[in-house]
């Protein structure tokens, strides 16, 4: 049976490829896509999610959500994703968004689902946190929460913090303390998914579908990561989706994970207790290794299935 999921995102170049992967994979039953501001403002992340979904021809509802974090002000990431969020790649306009907002849609789906639903978060966790905070009785209807967030060590938006965690650390804390099973794909995991021009060229050769070409065009706009040696860009957001589809490509370690909510330079840092120094019980499985070649082959095979 396909795994029922709700995908919360902030497209975003890597979100775009994650959305294609999720909608191309029969292992997943995507019940809804919910959108927050993050890589760029909500006006762009929402229109991007609508356009990307329409390109796949999958009849999935896209719900607008939070345009800012629970606390503080909104900050975007234009130097990676461009001001429009897709590196300047223009897609045909999608259908109008659902009238129901993200947190309401998440709660409705959880409330009415015959079986628990997996929440997948690949942007700031604001929408997911709002849903959990405003109807905690639904917690047992959450099968697991699978996130791209955090880092064992250095961040990518500050020296201490990864962008999604840093964008709304209070929202991440709501999820980390929810008591529901968590799976985290951190920056150290996504660094193993380094997209090079050769990987993009190998994808392009797999077909001529609009989604495959759009995935390649979008990914080709992403600057190579100096942090990772300058030969490619880490493909963050498809990692948690790939774990749901083919967990055998990964190894994971149960750890106690917290997030720094202070006002200082470490705000948004995920503190991952690898050696159980705190004695706190593990609240998350943190993904550690990835079979990189199999990962990229999976993505190419799935992108090629799309229209």
Residues of this chain that bind ligand RIB (CB under 6 A):
10, 12, 14-15, 38-39, 122-123, 148, 156, 162-164, 236-237
Largest CA distance in the chain: 53
How many residues lie near Ca ion (CB under 5 A)? 6
Q: Which of 44, 63, 81, 236 is catalytic?
A: 236
Site for Ca ion in 6-45 (CB under 5 A): 10, 12, 15
Return the ∠ at Cα 5 (arms to 70 and 101), rounded to 5°: 40
Q: Any residues with CB less than 8 A from the CB of 70 and at least 6 apart, and which?
A: 126, 129, 130, 168, 170, 171
Q: How far are the Cα atoms of 245, 259, 281 from residue 252, in angstroms, in the given order? A: 15, 19, 16
Site for Ca ion in 218-247 (CB under 5 A): 237
Closest Cα to residue 151, out of 185, 105, 187, 112? 187
Q: What is the Rg, in whole angstroms, of the alpha carbon atoms belonging to the chain?
A: 18
Q: Which does 155 bind (CB under 5 to 8 A by kind): ligand RIB, Ca ion, none?
A: none
Look up residue 292 and give its two tokens. Answer: 């990189």
Q: Which residue is nearest to ligand RIB (CB)?
A: 163
- We find the least distance from the C-beta atom of residue 158 to Ca ion, in angstroms, to be 17
- We find the least distance from the C-beta atom of residue 207 to Ca ion, in angstroms, to be 25
Query: Judged by CB, which is closer to ligand RIB: 104, or 162?
Result: 162
Residue 236 annotated in active site = yes
Q: Map tokens 């300058």 to a residue.
A: 230
- We find the least distance from the C-beta atom of residue 59 to ligand RIB, in angstroms, to be 25
- We find the least distance from the C-beta atom of residue 23 to ligand RIB, in angstroms, to be 17
- The answer to whether residues 51 and 206 touch, using CB atoms and an 8 Å cutoff, is no
Q: Which does 163 bind (CB under 5 to 8 A by kind): ligand RIB, Ca ion, none?
A: ligand RIB
Query: Judged by CB, which is closer to Ca ion: 12, or 87?
Result: 12
Q: Which does 238 bind (CB under 5 to 8 A by kind): ligand RIB, Ca ion, none?
A: none
**From CA 145, how far away is CA 160, in angstroms rounded?**
23
Look up residue 30 and give its two tokens. Answer: 């995507």
- We find the least distance from the C-beta atom of residue 39 to ligand RIB, in angstroms, to be 5
Which backbone phi and psi does 260 adopt, to 5 degrees?
A: -75, 120
Does residue 104 sit in helix, strand or coil? Answer: helix
Query: Judged by CB, which is closer to Ca ion: 118, or 190?
Result: 190
Query: Judged by CB, which is closer to ligand RIB: 206, or 220?
Result: 220
Query: Judged by CB, which is closer to Ca ion: 104, or 237?
Result: 237
Which helix (H) or strand (E) segment holds residue 57: the answer is: none
Look up residue 78 and give its two tokens. Answer: 């234009």
Q: Does 123 bind Ca ion (CB under 5 A)?
A: yes
Residues of this chain that interact with Ca ion (CB under 5 A) are 10, 12, 15, 122-123, 237
> So which residues are the catalytic ones?
236
């Amino acid at each position: 049976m396909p795994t029922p999921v709700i995908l919360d995102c902030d497209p975003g170049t890597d979100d775009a490829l994650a959305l294609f992967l999720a909608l191309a994979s029969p292992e997943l039953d995507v019940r809804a896509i919910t959108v927050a501001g993050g890589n760029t403002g909500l006006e762009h992340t929402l229109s991007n999610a609508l356009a990307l979904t329409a390109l796949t021809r999958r009849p999935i509802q896209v719900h607008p959500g939070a345009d800012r974090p629970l606390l503080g002000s909104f900050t975007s990431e234009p130097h990676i994703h461009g001001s429009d969020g897709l590196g300047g790649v223009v897609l045909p306009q999608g259908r109008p968004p659902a009238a129901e907002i993200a947190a309401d849609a998440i709660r409705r789906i959880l409330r009415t689902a015959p079986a628990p639903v997996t929440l997948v978060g690949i942007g700031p966790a604001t929408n997911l946190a709002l849903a959990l905070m405003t109807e905690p009785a639904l917690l047992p209807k959450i099968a697991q929460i699978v996130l791209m967030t955090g880092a064992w060590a250095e961040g990518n938006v500050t020296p201490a913090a990864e962008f999604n965690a840093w964008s709304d650390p209070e929202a991440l804390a709501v999820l980390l303390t929810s008591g529901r099973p968590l799976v985290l794909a951190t920056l150290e995991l996504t660094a193993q998914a380094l997209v090079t021009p050769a990987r993009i060229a190998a994808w392009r050769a797999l077909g001529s579908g609009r989604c495959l070409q759009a995935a390649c065009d979008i990914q080709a706009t992403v600057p190579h990561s100096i942090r990772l040696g300058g030969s490619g860009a880490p493909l963050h957001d498809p990692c948690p989706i790939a774990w749901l589809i083919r967990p055998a490509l990964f190894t994971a370690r149960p750890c106690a994970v917290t997030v720094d909510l202070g006002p200082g330079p470490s705000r948004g840092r995920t503190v991952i207790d690898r050696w159980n120094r705190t004695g706190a019980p593990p609240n998350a499985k943190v993904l550690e290794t990835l079979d990189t070649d199999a990962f990229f082959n999976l993505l190419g095979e799935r992108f090629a299935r799309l229209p």
